[in-house]
Structure 1
Amino acid sequence: MRGLLALAARSAWHRRFALSLVVLSVALSALLLLAVERLRHDVRENFASAVSGTDLIVGARTGGVQLMLYAVFRLGQPTNTIRWSSVQALAQDKAVAWTVPLSLGDAHRGFPVVGTTADYFTHFRWGARQPLVLAQGRRFEGVFDAVIGAEVAERLGYGLGQPLVLRHGGGELDSNDHADKPFTVVGILARTGTPVDRSVHIGLAGMEAIHLDWAAGVPLPGLAVPADQVNQHDLSPKTVTAVLVGLKSRAAVFGLQRRVAEFEAEPLMAVLPGVALDELWDAVGQAERALVLMSVLVGAVSLAGLVAVVVTALEQRRRELAVLRSVGAGPSRVFTLLALEGTVLGASGALLGALAWAIIRALAAPWVQTRWGITLSGGGPRPVEWLLLGSVVLAGTLAGLLPGWRAYRLSLADGLTPRGS
């Protein structure tokens, strides 16, 4: 058997160019399968870990997914706001333990600004109910204090004492900014792998202060309130974008959700974060399935190429197989040899694909974190990924059965008889 394997290895080396292309195509399919599965898993994990311990998210009546996206993930723009009096009424509900108001809409160099209260640092949870931790400095206290996320500090090179100029709306700074009322970084949050890392946090009083001389999204001509005079004005918020709500008992969640829906002062809605995420996955499920299908199709094409290469090579290897038969290799052994060749090609492609994905993941992880806020998990393959790699190897084995069966049926006389005789 050792001699047969050595002969098979020499034969494969003789056909190394064609077989290398087959291995590369199988590796590409394995790479795509692993990448799609890991990205699908990590995106879900990152979204699920963005907020925990929050029972309801309350905002103006809109879509549940839309409310979740801009309130938690800072994606998109809020279509409406809710009055501060409604927030106060909500906080007084007998089922509510705490509320954290959020005011969105401004930005600093492309990073979203979140106006909130000090309760944000007390009650907000991420991951497995982990609290926010300050890596440097303190929480905001003054009107123009700001606490920035880890990604903001890293990408912009900011430290404590750094002045910030906020812009009305998203994007980079331009003439439509709040340069007359700069903020100062007083704290930097530890990394969480959530949208918190990419946010600038200020107090609701600060959010109100920079808009004292603004109306309908533009500065009022002829009216300017200097930064040192803002305390002479009422800085109580008039509206906010959304409210994170924690309950005294989870059993009260549906009752409060109904009361919010029936709120008479203005149209409001309350969504459960888990339910909103499920709706989001339903919405993107079709695209997710399309990616998986594309990976499977690439794998099928690769395996079809494997079969084509091995079957085509059989016509050139008929004498080789006949010699094997003549030195004592039975049909079953020839069949096993050809099937083993498919297994080795599949395993080589799976190994190469896994190695390529590990390298790409290591190199792309910082960029993906910076650009999309998605943390690509490290470590070895998860059980599902081992299953995918095993399926690639198994598919390679099955792909080798057809040429193996053809080789099995080749007769000794057919292989030794010259063509045309």
Structure 2
Amino acid sequence: MSITVKLAWKSLLNRKTTAILTIITVAISVVLLMGVERIRTQAKSSFANTISGTDLIVGGRSGQVNLLLYSVFRIGNATNNIDWKSYQEFSQHRTVKWAIPISLGDSHKGFRVIGTNHSYFEHYRYGQKRPLALAQGREFEGLFETVLGADVAKALGYQIGSEIIIAHGISDVGFSRHDNLPFKVVGILAPTGTPVDKSVHVSLEAIEAIHVGWESGANLGNNPSKQQLENTQFQPKQITAMLIGLKSKIQTFALQREINTYRQEPLSAILPGVALHELWGMMAVAEQALLIVSVFVVAAGLMGMLSSLLTSLQERRREMAILRAMGARPKHIFILLVSEASTLTAIGIAVGIIGVYTLLAIAAPIISANYGININLTAITSHEWTLLLLVQLAGIVIGIFPAIRAYRQSLSDGMTIRI
């Protein structure tokens, strides 16, 4: 058996160009298969870790996916707001440890503006319960101060001390801007890989202040000056949603039921984990499509290897005949060709593994910066080993076809072939 393996290796070295091309084809297939699988699983993990440590998300009566989208991912708009008195009642509930109010509705050059308070910076968690951290500056204190997400500052080139103009609504157009009330950048958050990076954070009082003189989204022209507003005490009338952390997880369902049956106004309380799972399930088709495409690429690579082996077999019929004449049995010829296919596949897999880790190391910071997906260069998982083993087995099966053909060739047929 060892002689057959050595012979297979020598045969591959004798056909370097064909062997290298076959290895590259298999390697590219493995890179795509493992790359798609790694990005798929890491995207799912990053998606699930967008918000962490929050027990309930509360908003106006709505479906849980819609509530999750606008409160966590800043996508879409709320069907209704929450009265400030309702927020105060539940934030002071005996089972509630902390509550984060969130007010949406304004924007700045395509980025959503989030009205909140200091509880946001203190209690908001993402990933494995990681807290928000300031890369520069401090939290807002004054009425017209803002803290930017990392992507906002990077994309628009803002620094500490820069001034920004907030626009009313999602569309940042001239007539909707609060031009007379610029906000000063006092802090920039460290990157999180979540929608926080694409948010502009201001106080709830600031949200109330900039809308003085606006009615139903229209500027009525009665706009107080910045100095007048800074000397006025503001209290929010409504918020869009609130994030709640409880003293004990056991109380989650009881409080959820109490909020959902709240008599003062129609509210919805959802469990972030359940809503995230439902939302990811809606994207399962795209997830499976990526995996299917990568499997077809692997199949195409293996078919290319089969074509190469069959083509070279026609040119090697005399070689096979000489081996037979020197005492090699048909089973030796069979094992020789299967060993060649197996060796090519194994080397292709090894090269592919090196390639995928190299590419991910290069692409990870780019993917994180542009898409918020954190790619960790972890060891190969058991599932990935299973996929690689299936590729190796497929390579062995592919080698059986030319091996059977060589097995059936007669000695006289091989010796009389013209080259």
Q: What is the TM-score when the length of structure 2 is the normalising length? A: 0.91
Contact 1:108-1:173 at 8 Å conserved across structures: no
Q: In the alignment, does 2:122 pair up with 1:122?
A: yes
Contact 1:103-1:242 at 8 Å conserved across structures: yes
Aligned pair in 2 of structure 1 residues 414, 145: CA closer, same or farther (>3 Å)? same
Give the aligned partner of residue 322 of structure 2. Answer: 323
Give the aligned partner of residue 372 of structure 1. Answer: 371
Shift of 1:58: 0.3
Larger mean CA deviation between 56-65 and 157-166 belongs to: 157-166
Shift of 1:379: 4.7
Matched residues in 1 for 2:315 and 2:125: separation?
66
Question: Does the residue aligned with 2:176 lie in a helix, a strand or coil?
Answer: coil
Shift of 1:189: 2.1
Shift of 1:3: 6.7
Give the aligned partner of residue 207 of structure 2. Answer: 207
CA RMSD of aligned residues (A): 2.4
Q: What is the TM-score when the length of structure 1 is the normalising length? A: 0.90
Give the letter for the 1:417 counterpart. T
Give the aligned partner of residue 314 of structure 1. Answer: 313
Give the aligned partner of residue 247 of structure 2. Answer: 248
Give the letter for the 2:410 counterpart. S
Q: Residues 4-403 of structure 1: matches in 2 within 5 Å? A: 4-5=7-8, 7-13=10-16, 16-17=17-18, 22-170=22-170, 174-220=174-220, 222-233=221-232, 235-403=234-402
Aligned pair in 2 of structure 1 residues 152, 311: CA closer, same or farther (>3 Å)? same
Matched residues in 1 for 2:9 and 2:303: separation?
26
Shift of 1:262: 0.7
Unaligned runs of 5+ in 1: none
Matched residues in 1 for 2:89 and 2:232: separation?
24
Aligned pair in 2 of structure 1 residues 173, 391: CA closer, same or farther (>3 Å)? farther
Contact 1:91-1:99 at 8 Å conserved across structures: yes
1:346-392 C-alpha deviation (Å, 9 max, x unpaired): 23433443344334434433442233222222355444334333332
Give the letter for the 2:115 counterpart. G
Shift of 1:272: 0.5
Larger mean CA deviation between 380-389 and 190-199 belongs to: 380-389
Shift of 1:301: 2.7
Shift of 1:234: 5.1
Aligned pair in 2 of structure 1 residues 377, 217: CA closer, same or farther (>3 Å)? farther
Aligned pair in 2 of structure 1 residues 327, 218: CA closer, same or farther (>3 Å)? farther
Larger mean CA deviation between 248-257 and 123-132 belongs to: 123-132
Aligned pair in 2 of structure 1 residues 171, 331: CA closer, same or farther (>3 Å)? farther
Larger mean CA deviation between 118-127 and 77-86 belongs to: 77-86
Matched residues in 2 for 1:252 and 1:33: separation?
44
Q: Aligned pairs, how many?
A: 415
Counting aligned pairs with the same residue, the percent is 45
Aligned pair in 2 of structure 1 residues 325, 170: CA closer, same or farther (>3 Å)? farther
Question: Does the residue aligned with 2:135 lie in a helix, a strand or coil?
Answer: strand
Matched residues in 2 for 1:28 and 1:171: separation?
44
1:262-291 C-alpha deviation (Å, 9 max, x unpaired): 112221111101111111122111221122
Matched residues in 1 for 2:77 and 2:366: separation?
24
Give the letter for the 2:193 counterpart. G
Give the letter for the 1:120 counterpart. Y
Contact 2:69-2:75 at 8 Å conserved across structures: yes
1:91-127 C-alpha deviation (Å, 9 max, x unpaired): 2322222211111222223222211011111211222
Aligned pair in 2 of structure 1 residues 418, 361: CA closer, same or farther (>3 Å)? closer
